[in-house]
Copies of this chain bind each other. A is one copy, B any other.
Amino acid sequence: MALRPSTPEVRLERMTGQDVAEGGFDKAILPIGATEYHGPHLPYGTDTIGAEALAEGIARELGQTIVLPTLDYGVSFHHIEFPWTVSLRPETLTMMVRDIIESVMAHGIRKIAILTAHDGNPPPAESAARSLYQDHGIEIAMIGGWQGAARKALAGTWDIDLDHAGQSEMSLVLYGAPEMARIDLAVNQPNQGMGHPVSIVGSFKGTVPKGYSGKAADGSEEEGEAIVKAIAALVVPFLRDLDAHDWKRGSWLSGIDS
């Protein structure tokens, strides 16, 4: 769901063969979004917009990195009670990721990251990555949990929430696709309590009856930009190290000499 032209362009679906040939790309990021109810005030593509904005931010900073078309669909069955939410089964997402990455590998690319921006997607994406490692020896970087990471990184500057369709998601949409954010319709809700010792797989409606939580009305494009920059600042140096080690886990990661 590529939205805005960007300079330089990094999104594969917007480039021609000429563009790609000139780009000298040797790395790829696959963003995974969702199609999911996000209240009256945020679009169904909110997670897709977020995944794409974050992936673009990282790719542009990292360099020589193509952003593959963002998957618009994720594992969202826990939101199915809300209208028009669409969900893949976990195994379908696993197969999607496998096929896409095997295609990219067919072009000699082996430096690949997956970026997830929705809580149902990391398990099937990781299952795909594990199968790909087993079958091809490829080691894939998994980038996820942007809300928690940004919350920690920006503590003291911005108070990033962990809500669904709340302030931080509003900010990211205002940054990435402002024409789709209906901040005029946002009515602030309580923030979700978090951090239970046991997670329960089940209905989001059970815990958040309206289907959205947090202070969406307080989101801002500035916060969105801060989030994208913070995540890029966190991730890119790590990926540069990884790149320097031929994109393979090594003893530099554990601090244990080989």
Query: Which residues of A pack against B, CB within 8 Å?
Result: 1-3, 5, 12-21, 35, 37-45, 48, 66, 68-73, 75, 77-78, 80, 82-92, 94-96, 98-100, 103-104, 106-107, 113, 120, 122-124, 126-127, 129-134, 138-143, 149, 179-180, 182, 185, 189-190, 192-193, 196-204, 206-211, 213, 234-235, 238-239, 242, 248-251, 253-258
Contact = CB atoms under 8 A, between A and B. Distances in A.
Which 8 pairs, one residue from A and one from B, show the smallest C-beta to C-beta distance?
A139-B202, A13-B45, A69-B72, A206-B249, A18-B40, A90-B127, A193-B255, A123-B123
B17 A207 contact: no
- Majority-rule SS of A interface residues: mixed
Given A13-B1, A13-B72, A35-B13, A142 B200 contact: yes
Contacts of A149: 197
Nearest to A83: B107
A75 B123 CA distance: 13
A3 B5 contact: no
Contact of A39 (B16, B94, B211, B213): B16
Nearest to A114: B201
A96 B120 contact: no
A206 B238 CA distance: 16
A257 B104 CA distance: 29
Given A16-B180, A107-B84, A133 B249 contact: no
A86 to B, nearest CB: 4
Contact of A206 (B103, B106, B209, B251): B251
